[in-house]
C-alpha cells in the first residue's frame, strides 16, 4: 500500500517509521525541520529543549521504539535531586510529598484542605455527564486541593484551565480509578499512587530520537500540505494539529476540528552563573491565583546531566497557556521582565541571567475540554475509510501516547 503521512512531529515520524516496515510511505512536513514540538538546541554549551524535556519510561512502546532505533545506550535518567518538587502557595515554595504518608505533614496544602482531601473515600459519586477536572477534584478531594495541587498539575502537564479540561479525556487514569474503585485513595492503594515510571531523556536531549527517526523515513521537508487528497496514495494518515488540519479540510469536518482548542505557550530559558542560591530540584509549579504570572519553572541542569557546562545552570520557565494566551504575544523584553520579576519573588533575589532564549509555541498544547470524547466521535464520523487522524490533538498529548498510538496502528 502507498501511504502519505502528514506532519513530521513525533507522531508522524513514528507512524512513518512503523508503517514503512510493510508499506511504501512518504512523510510531508510543512517546516524545514522534523520534530514539531520536539526540538533541542545547543546554545552556548547548553542543551535547551524547545518543548518536551523527557518521557516516562512506563510506556513499553516508547522503549520498544528506542530499542528498534538502537538508542538504548543513549538514554539518561534524572539525578536524585530531581525527586524534589515544589508548589508555590501563599508566597512560599512548599515541597511536594515524596511518599503518600508524608502528605499528612506536608505544607503543600493548608491543614483544613489536607484533612478534607483525606475524606476522599466518602466523596459523592460521579455525575452522568462529562465533568471538568476542577469539578471532579473539588468533589473528590475538596476545593482547596483542587485550587492548589490539581491546578498546578493541570498547568504542568496541559498549560490548561482545570475548569474547562475534561477529566475523562485529559486524566483518563484518575477517571478510571473512581469508576473501578469508587475512590481515588482506595484505587491508588490498589494500583499505586501517581504516574509510574522514571523520567527519561537522551544524552543530547530529545533531539536524539527525532534525528534517529529522521534518518529512517522518506520525509519531504518544506512541503506543506494544502488540501487532503489521495492522488497517488491509497491511504493518508494526518498527524497535523487540529487547527491546521481544519484549515485544509472542508465543510463540517473543518468546523468540528476548529472546536479543539489549544493553549499557546512560551518557554523562556535562562542561563545563570554559579553560585546560584537555589537548591537543586526538579522545579516548581505555580497554581493560578497565587500571585505569579508564570506557570512554573524546570531546573533543567539539576534534572539531567550535561544540560549546562560547568559553572552554569539552565532553567526553563513556562508562561502563557489556556488562561493567559496573550502572554505568548508579548515581545521578548516584556516576557523576560515578567519572568525575572516572578523568579525574584520565588527565589528571594533578582536573578541576573548570562543569556535568555525564548521559544514560542503559538499552537502549544491541544486541550481536551469537556465534551472532547463526543467531539472526537463526530470527527471520526466524517472521515473516509482511507483517512486516519492521529497525534496530540486527538488521543493523548504526551510523547508516550503519540508513540503508542503510532506503533499500535496499521491500515
Ligand X SMILES: Cc1cc2nc3c(=O)[nH]c(=O)nc-3n(C[C@H](O)[C@H](O)[C@H](O)COP(=O)(O)OP(=O)(O)OC[C@H]3O[C@@H](n4cnc5c(N)ncnc54)[C@H](O)[C@@H]3O)c2cc1C
- DSSP category for residue 275: P
Residue number, 141 or 335, with CB nearest to ligand X: 335
Determine if 348 is a binding residue for ligand X (CB under 6 A). no
Site for ligand X in 156-185 (CB under 6 A): none
Determine if 264 is a binding residue for ligand X (CB under 6 A). no
Residue number, 241 or 351, with CB nearest to ligand X: 241
Q: Are 10 and 38 in contact (CB under 8 A)?
A: yes
Residue number, 50 or 88, with CB nearest to ligand X: 50
Rounded to whole angstroms, what are the CA distances from 348 to 92, 278, 280, 333, 341?
Answer: 10, 10, 16, 22, 10
Determine if 89 is a binding residue for ligand X (CB under 6 A). no
Determine if 224 is a binding residue for ligand X (CB under 6 A). yes
Determine if 138 is a binding residue for ligand X (CB under 6 A). no
DSSP three-state, residue 163:
coil
- Identify the residue among 361, 372, 388, 404 touching ligand X (CB under 6 A): 361
Pattern 183-202, ligand X, x by CB under 6 A:
--------------------
From the CB of 208, what's the least distance to ligand X, in Å? 14
- # chain residues binding ligand X, by CB under 6 A: 38
Q: How far apart are CA 184 and CA 175, in angstroms?
A: 9
Q: Could you tell me the three cell numbers for 229? A: 487528497
Point out which span in 32-40, 145-153, 188-196, 339-347 binds ligand X (CB under 6 A): 32-40
Point out which span in 47-55, 105-113, 189-197, 277-285 binds ligand X (CB under 6 A): 47-55
Site for ligand X in 241-260 (CB under 6 A): 241, 244, 248
From the CB of 170, what's the least distance to ligand X, in Å? 13
- Identify the residue among 5, 19, 53, 152 touching ligand X (CB under 6 A): 53
Q: Could you tell me the three cell numbers for 116? A: 478534607
* Buried b / exposed e along 225-256 (16+ C-beta atoms within 10 A): beebeeeebebbbbbbbbbbbbebbeeebeeb
Site for ligand X in 265-324 (CB under 6 A): 265, 267
Q: How far apart are CA 179 and CA 123, in angstroms?
A: 13
DSSP string, 307-374: SS-TTEEEEEEEEE-TT-GGGGGS-HHHHHHHHHHHHHHHHSS----SEEEEEEEEEEEE--BTTHHH
Determine if 405 is a binding residue for ligand X (CB under 6 A). no
Q: Are 181 and 129 in contact (CB under 8 A)?
A: no
Q: What kind and span of H or E run contains 220?
A: strand 219-220
Determine if 10 is a binding residue for ligand X (CB under 6 A). yes
Q: Are 132 and 161 in contact (CB under 8 A)?
A: no
Tell me: cis bond preceding 316? Omega within 30 of 0 counts.
Answer: no
Give the burial class of 364: count Cβ atoms within 10 A of its Cβ; 0-12 exposed, 13-18 middle, 19 or more buried: buried
Give the burial class of 381: count Cβ atoms within 10 A of its Cβ; 0-12 exposed, 13-18 middle, 19 or more buried: exposed
From the CB of 14, what's the least distance to ligand X, in Å? 8
- Identify the residue among 8, 78, 214, 353 touching ligand X (CB under 6 A): 8
Determine if 239 is a binding residue for ligand X (CB under 6 A). yes
Determine if 378 is a binding residue for ligand X (CB under 6 A). no
Q: Are 396 and 21 in contact (CB under 8 A)?
A: no
Point out which span in 129-137, 348-356, 370-378, 394-402 binds ligand X (CB under 6 A): 394-402
Point out which span in 238-246, 276-284, 319-327, 338-346 binds ligand X (CB under 6 A): 238-246
Point out which span in 36-44, 69-77, 250-258, 380-388 binds ligand X (CB under 6 A): 36-44
Please choose, from the candidates 298, 302, 252, the residue with its C-alpha nearest in 3D space to the C-alpha of residue 274: 302
From the CB of 9, what's the least distance to ligand X, in Å? 2
Contacting positions for ligand X (CB under 6 A): 6-12, 28-31, 36-38, 51-55, 224-225, 239-241, 244, 248, 265, 267, 361, 364-365, 391-392, 397-400, 402
Amino acid at each position: 500500500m502507498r501511504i502519505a503521512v502528514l506532519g513530521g512531529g513525533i507522531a508522524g515520524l513514528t507512524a512513518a517509521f512503523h508503517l514503512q516496515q510493510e508499506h511504501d510511505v512518504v512523510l510531508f512536513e510543512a517546516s524545514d525541520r522534523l520534530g514539531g514540538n520536539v526540538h533541542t538546541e545547543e546554545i552556548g554549551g547548553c542543551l535547551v529543549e524547545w518543548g518536551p524535556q523527557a518521557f516516562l519510561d512506563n510506556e513499553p512502546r516508547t522503549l520498544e521504539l528506542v530499542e528498534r532505533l538502537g538508542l538504548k545506550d543513549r538514554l539518561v535518567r534524572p539525578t536524585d535531586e530531581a525527586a524534589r518538587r515544589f508548589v508555590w502557595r501563599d508566597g512560599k515554595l512548599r515541597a511536594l510529598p515524596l511518599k503518600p504518608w508524608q502528605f499528612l505533614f506536608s505544607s503543600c496544602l493548608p491543614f483544613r484542605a489536607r484533612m478534607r482531601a483525606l475524606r476522599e473515600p466518602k466523596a459523592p459519586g460521579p455525575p452522568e455527564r462529562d465533568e471538568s477536572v476542577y469539578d471532579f477534584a473539588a468533589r473528590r478531594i475538596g476545593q482547596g486541593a483542587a485550587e492548589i495541587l490539581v491546578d498546578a498539575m493541570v498547568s504542568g502537564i496541559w498549560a490548561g484551565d482545570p475548569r474547562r479540561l475534561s477529566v475523562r479525556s485529559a486524566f483518563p487514569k484518575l477517571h478510571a480509578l473512581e469508576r473501578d474503585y469508587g475512590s481515588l485513595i482506595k484505587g491508588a492503594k490498589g494500583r499505586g499512587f501517581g504516574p509510574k515510571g522514571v523520567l527519561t531523556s537522551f544524552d543530547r536531549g530529545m533531539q536524539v530520537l527525532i534525528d534517529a527517526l529522521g534518518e529512517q523515513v522518506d520525509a519531504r521537508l518544506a512541503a506543506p500540505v494544502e488540501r487532503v487528497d489521495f492522488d497517488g496514495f491509497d491511504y493518508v494518515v494526518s498527524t497535523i494539529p487540529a487547527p491546521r488540519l481544519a484549515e485544509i479540510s472542508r465543510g463540517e469536518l473543518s468546523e468540528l476540528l476548529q472546536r479543539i482548542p489549544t493553549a499557546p505557550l512560551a518557554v523562556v530559558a535562562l542561563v545563570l552563573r554559579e553560585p546560584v542560591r537555589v537548591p537543586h530540584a526538579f522545579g516548581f509549579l505555580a497554581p493560578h491565583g497565587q500571585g505569579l504570572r508564570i506557570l512554573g519553572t524546570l531546573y533543567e541542569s539539576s534534572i539531567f546531566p550535561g544540560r549546562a557546562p560547568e559553572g552554569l545552570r539552565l532553567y526553563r520557565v513556562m508562561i502563557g497557556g489556556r488562561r493567559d494566551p496573550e502572554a505568548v504575544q508579548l515581545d521578548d523584553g516584556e516576557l523576560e521582565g515578567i519572568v525575572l520579576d516572578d523568579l525574584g519573588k520565588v527565589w528571594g533575589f533578582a536573578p541576573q541571567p548570562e543569556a535568555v532564549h525564548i521559544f514560542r509555541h503559538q499552537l502549544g498544547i491541544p486541550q481536551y475540554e469537556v465534551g472532547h470524547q463526543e467531539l472526537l466521535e463526530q470527527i471520526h464520523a466524517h472521515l473516509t475509510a482511507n483517512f486516519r487522524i492521529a497525534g496530540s490533538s486527538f488521543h493523548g498529548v504526551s510523547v508516550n501516547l503519540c508513540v503508542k498510538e503510532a506503533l499500535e496502528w496499521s491500515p
